[in-house]
Amino acid sequence: MGAYDDLMAREREAQALAQVAGRLGWDQETMMPRGAAEQRAEESGAMQAVLHGRRVDPARGDLLAAAQAEVEASDAVAQAQLRHIRRDYERAMRVPGALAVALARLTSRAQGKWAEARAADDYAAFAPVLAEVVRLKREEAAALADGGDLYDALLQDYEPGMGAARLDAMFAEMRPRLVALRGIALEREWPKLEGRFDSAAQLRLSQKLAQVFGYDLNRGRLDLAVHPFSSGSGDDVRITTRVSETDPFNCFYSTIHEVGHACYEQGIDPTYRVTPLGQGVSMGVHESQSRIYENQLGRSRAFCGWLYGQMRDAFGDFGIADADGFYRAVNRVHRGYIRTEADEVQYNLHVMLRYDLERALIAGNLSVGDLEAAWNDRFAADFGTPVERASDGVLQDVHWSVGLFGYFPTYSLGNLYAGCLHAALRNAVPRLDAQLEQGDLAEATAWLRENVQQHGGLFEPAEVIARACGAEPEAEPLLAYLDAKFGALTG
Amino acid sequence: MGAYDDLMAREREAQALAQVAGRLGWDQETMMPRGAAEQRAEESGAMQAVLHGRRVDPARGDLLAAAQAEVEASDAVAQAQLRHIRRDYERAMRVPGALAVALARLTSRAQGKWAEARAADDYAAFAPVLAEVVRLKREEAAALADGGDLYDALLQDYEPGMGAARLDAMFAEMRPRLVALRGIALEREWPKLEGRFDSAAQLRLSQKLAQVFGYDLNRGRLDLAVHPFSSGSGDDVRITTRVSETDPFNCFYSTIHEVGHACYEQGIDPTYRVTPLGQGVSMGVHESQSRIYENQLGRSRAFCGWLYGQMRDAFGDFGIADADGFYRAVNRVHRGYIRTEADEVQYNLHVMLRYDLERALIAGNLSVGDLEAAWNDRFAADFGTPVERASDGVLQDVHWSVGLFGYFPTYSLGNLYAGCLHAALRNAVPRLDAQLEQGDLAEATAWLRENVQQHGGLFEPAEVIARACGAEPEAEPLLAYLDAKFGALTG
């Protein structure tokens, strides 16, 4: 296997360099001195140039062709490696170098403009540069689409194999049921956590939660960052969380969410480490792991019973009388404008709003000039509230400023996948609630590792879920779960 | 200036990548999860391969030739940039790729063998792999020397322009006077710090010391590591220290030492940032900065008066009655085998021992099999004590295992340079002691920045010192300083 081995040696080196570049990003958010930002931009740019140079090296294409002729059709692992390499190579070769450079420069500038505009609540100040981003992203999409749908082409960067038509169908099923459920939930009173919670004690409990959910701190670490994230693959997967003295749930559920992402990376078959198969296969599958850890497991009644005891031990009496009240506080449904603060009922409505708008932008059916009004109309329709400030509306997310079109729907897809996996997990582990009541996640996380995480990039995203669940992914399990959970909570 | 500008753009990218590789090293010593070591070796190897590929790229040689024809002789900065690039390119091209790879692999293995042998106090277990390291280093030296002296060729990696003949002359002047001074100093009793010193309070005072000595924490950070070091250039220069509850001087003087290195990097003309001129010019000049901060300034009677007050504030009464006693405790001369624990009087004797032995190894005048006996003989001659354990003798330093031949003498050269700079600084700042008594290092560090640090790689190492001092570097100022200081301390 001369060509295949040569190709894989090159790809290992590229994957190792990508890990270094990723860790540079981690450092920037956690450790970097403030005064180093300008120099860091030059360092990151140099790393990206190296990575890009390797992606589009014609020798890579030659080796790939030779390796494809060489590998047996029955060698599933090698075939999957080649599939990932081929997809990455073709994607890189399709986009003209000048366009890639222009996009990198423009989105760097646009992110700064977005931050300024958001601080000033001034969409008009952001619209011109966003229009430029949309123009170049459509150009890039056309280069990638090869005559096909522009939005579908962009979607492949985040969820290979997925298409807007399929998303449309799933979301169309979800939206009216979520709007209805939202209406019912908001009629109820929900307890809210009050008081102050010691930061150091929050971080100690975060460390404990991370371990309870199976995060291996010998191959990772937990630090603070403004926006929590997980970073890295293989044996060096780091997570961050944040601490607010008045909002310990933010700390704990951020930690559990990132632990879900990190356990996915840590759980991949170690023989795939530092190869194209050695990462989570898509944003949607990644989000399915973070969400099932955070929501279906972490916000379950059974686990909340255990967590209530832990919080009582850590903080004493904090004004919530029993585990049932605690469960209601954890799952509180409330009016709000901000996606990242949304509860399980409303979160996907936020995502669908963005999905429909960005599809229209990329299709050329909506102009950037009309975007704010379209946002506000849709928000009023789904959430029943007028948007009064752009920072609560169209300016709240960074994604579009940095060119992430096609990314938003993977959040909801992750929730949908989590719904499917949760149903299958409940079938496979009938004693799950009894375990969760003890803070025992071992069997649940082992099932996820066995059925999802270990495969890394071996299967296509939808196939991973279908294999784990024994059925194609669909919206009904998530909707049934939400109906049951919030039906019970609202009586 | 087409070729020059093109060349410099490439070099900037290479320098930026070198910064990334350096930060990976920092991460490994401070933040990396323990279980990530194997993966990290692959990541570091990939970065080194990228850096090496850029160093030996024939296009670099072509651009360099074109740029040399283009740049005016009067453009001192551009000429200095070209000098550094040329030296680096020629060095890289002279060593066959297979030898470079063999050395990298061998030294990685040898470092592990050294650690095992040191733990077992068994030189014989280390000797075979060390013999292999010496063999390959002699091969490398022959490739670099181009018919000249092998050891001189290796020395150029650490101290460009320096030669063994000149070192011999300087060290020959130093050795008898240091042996004599050592004999006198060891006849006296020296107070020793006793008791326990809170770790957190040590770290707080370390942060204060770093700032007092001019370290810019907005462009750096202070963390813990097993072996203190400074890392990075330009706007991201990080230092580490260590804490032992029974030995606060180790923490404080490690911090001050690393701050000296870091201030050198932070003090370089910002227009040189991320270029070949944007780093300290040699190991010797680097060590001159760490040593003058640590010793001539940090261990002066005047500064010890201020530090005594700081330590009293931080730790209360710690059993030393007054500032004079404190000064004696800080400068305590004591018998010991270990270089890194040696005082100002004996430190250079440790270095010269290693220098003479490694010169003989590289010249082929000493075999690896005879090295331990040669070490022990020389140690008995200079220190008057038999070495009883290899870990106290020939196995104490990591340097030779990783192929660092030619590095040791730069430690003493740094001390010698520091002696020259200190004499010039005293002339330039007559009120220095009055400032040090107040913990005010501003004028001293400004003088060092102005006269040494800002130049980065603009001048050759010896020229930096000669320009700052108005005379060629020589041993006499250091010896006169030590005679005066320890003469007074020993009455």
CA of residue B183 relative to chain centroid, distance: 27
* A274/B20 CB distance under 8 A: no
Q: 């059709």: which residue's tokens?
A: A73
Give me the amino acid identity at A22: G
CA dist., res. B222 & res. B235, Å (int): 14
The answer to whether the CB of A17 falls within 8 A of the CB of B46 is yes
Whether A389 has a pLDDT exceeding 80, the answer reads yes
Tens digits of residue pLDDT in B134-175: 999 999 999 999 999 999 999 999 999 999 999 999 999 999
Q: A491: pLDDT confidence band, cut at 50, 70 and 90?
A: confident
Six-digit token pair at A202?
């929050």
Give me the amino acid identity at A432: L
* pLDDT recorded at residue A208: 98
Q: B491: pLDDT confidence band, cut at 50, 70 and 90?
A: confident
B265-282 mean pLDDT:
98
Whether A1 has a pLDDT exceeding 80, the answer reads no
- Coil vs helix vs strand at A150: helix
| Type and span of the H or E element at B231 | strand B230-231
- What's the half-sphere exposure (Cβ side, CA atoms, 13 Å) at B373? 5
* pTM, two decimal places: 0.95
CA dist., res. B347 & res. B291, Å (int): 12
- Of the candidates A132, A140, A258, A358, the residue annotated as catalytic is A258
Q: B325: closest CA among B183, B189, B201, B432?
A: B189
Six-digit token pair at B379?
């140690």
- Coil vs helix vs strand at B319: coil
CA dist., res. B54 & res. B13, Å (int): 10
CA dist., res. B445 & res. B173, Å (int): 29
* pLDDT recorded at residue A5: 97
Tens digits of residue pLDDT in B379-406: 999 999 999 999 999 999 999 999 999 9
Probe site for chain B from A10, A12, A23, A231 (most B CB atoms < 10 A):
A23
Q: A223: closest CA among A199, A249, A255?
A: A255
Q: DSSP of B357-373, one letter per residue?
A: HHHHHHHTSS-GGGHHH
A283-296 mean pLDDT:
98
Whether B88 has a pLDDT exceeding 90, the answer reads yes
Tens digits of residue pLDDT in A130-186: 999 999 999 999 999 989 999 999 999 999 999 999 999 999 999 999 999 999 999
The answer to whether the CB of A46 falls within 8 A of the CB of B17 is yes
Whether A18 has a pLDDT exceeding 80, the answer reads yes
* B235/A273 CB distance under 8 A: no
Question: Smallest CA–CA separation between A22 and chain B, in Å?
Answer: 11
* B12/A42 CB distance under 8 A: yes
Q: A292: closest CA among A102, A489, A444, A125?
A: A444
* pLDDT recorded at residue B1: 61
* pLDDT recorded at residue B165: 97
- Coil vs helix vs strand at B445: helix
Whether A43 has a pLDDT exceeding 80, the answer reads yes
The answer to whether the CB of A31 falls within 8 A of the CB of B221 is yes
Tens digits of residue pLDDT in B196-240: 999 999 999 999 999 999 999 999 999 999 999 999 999 999 999
ipTM of the complex: 0.94
CA dist., res. B394 & res. B376, Å (int): 8
Probe site for chain A from B28, B54, B235 (most A CB atoms < 10 A):
B235
Q: B409: closest CA among B122, B169, B82?
A: B169
CA dist., res. A32 & res. A39, Å (int): 11
Specify whether B116 is catalytic.
no
Question: Smallest CA–CA separation between B223 and chain A, in Å?
Answer: 10
Question: Smallest CA–CA separation between B12 and chain A, in Å?
Answer: 9
Q: Contacts of residue A220 in chain B, CB cutoff 8 Å?
A: 33
Tally: H helices and E strands in chain A: 20, 3
The answer to whether the CB of A480 falls within 8 A of the CB of A487 is no
CA dist., res. A454 & res. A265, Å (int): 9
* DSSP bridge partners of A241: A224
* A16/B218 CB distance under 8 A: no
Q: Contacts of residue B39 in chain A, CB cutoff 8 Å?
A: 16, 19, 234-236, 273-274
CB-closest option in B36, B216, B274 to A236: B36
Q: How far apart are the first and last CA of chain A?
A: 63
Q: β-pairing, B238-241 with B230-231?
A: antiparallel
| Type and span of the H or E element at B241 | strand B238-241
Give me the amino acid identity at B137: K
Q: Contacts of residue A271 in chain B, CB cutoff 8 Å?
A: none
Q: B238: closest CA among A27, A42, A47?
A: A27
* A19/B39 CB distance under 8 A: yes
Tens digits of residue pLDDT in A334-359: 999 999 999 999 999 999 999 999 99
- Of the candidates B11, B140, B159, B258, the residue annotated as catalytic is B258
The answer to whether the CB of B141 falls within 8 A of the CB of B442 is no
